[in-house]
Amino acid sequence: MEEKKSKEAAKAEKPYVKPTATKLTREQAKLKLLDHASMGDQGAKELLEMMFSEVPQKESKAKKKSA
């Protein structure tokens, strides 16, 4: 039982670290969004479609021509 108390005490003694916000560059934001979309995040996919609506249309036309 003493071991449990010492482990809990060690966790409680952890110093507070203030959360910080980081500002992403445009390229970093695009890569992060693409990463989320590739992992199946439906919201990220919808946002990509809204931001780059011309890109999927061009790709789908190119696929039809090559098929």
Q: Angle at which helices 42-51 and 26-38 pack, to 10 degrees?
A: 130
pTM, two decimals, is 0.47
- Secondary structure of 2-46 as H, E, C letters: HHHHHHHHHHHCCCCCCCCCCCCCHHHHHHHHHHHHHCCCHHHHH
Query: What does the pLDDT look like over 6-42, one tens digit per residue?
Result: 666 666 678 999 999 999 999 999 999 999 999 999 9
Q: Hey, where are the domains in the chain? A: 25-67
- 39-61: average pLDDT: 78
pLDDT at 2 over 80: no
